[in-house]
């Protein structure tokens, strides 16, 4: 009887993990769709905390890193333009 209950528990745990993974990936996709990089990052790293080699989460992480680099490059360029336009007295 105990082996049967452990099988049903592991089945429930598996279902729960699949639902949580789906939620994490949905959060990541939603964040990227809205260009909300903080939301995307939390979803991606939540998914990777459950399954470190999840191919979809790893693909989304690459997209996130690309967008963060783009944002940071744009932000640094804007700061440089503002400094160049400011008087240096």
Residue 85 domain-assigned (yes or no): no
CB 56 within 8 A of CB 25: yes
Residue 24 domain-assigned (yes or no): yes
Range of the domain at 60: 2-73
Cα 38 from Cα 27, distance rounded (Å) = 10
| pLDDT tens string 39-67 | 999 999 999 999 999 999 999 999 999 99
Residue 82 domain-assigned (yes or no): no
Cα 73 from Cα 23, distance rounded (Å) = 31
Tell me the longest C-alpha to C-alpha distance in the chain. Answer: 84
Residue 55 domain-assigned (yes or no): yes
Instruction: Name which residue leads in pLDDT, 56 or 75.
Output: 56
> pTM to 2 decimals?
0.74
Residue 84 domain-assigned (yes or no): no
Q: Give the Å distances, CA to CA, from 78 to 1, 19, 72.
A: 67, 42, 10
Tally of domains within the chain? 1
- Across the range 2-29, mean pLDDT stands at 85
Residue 61 domain-assigned (yes or no): yes
pLDDT of 79 > 90? The answer is no
Cα 18 from Cα 86, distance rounded (Å) = 54
Residue 89 domain-assigned (yes or no): no
Residue 83 domain-assigned (yes or no): no
């Amino acid at each position: 009887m105990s082996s049967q209950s452990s099988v049903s528990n592991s089945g429930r745990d598996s279902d729960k993990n699949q639902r949580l993974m789906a939620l994490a990936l949905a959060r990541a996709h939603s964040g990227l769709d809205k260009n909300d990089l903080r939301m995307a990052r939390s979803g991606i790293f939540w998914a990777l905390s459950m399954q470190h080699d999840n191919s979809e989460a790893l693909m989304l992480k690459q997209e996130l890193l690309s967008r963060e680099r783009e944002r940071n490059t744009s932000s640094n360029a804007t700061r440089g333009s503002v400094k160049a336009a400011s008087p240096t007295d």
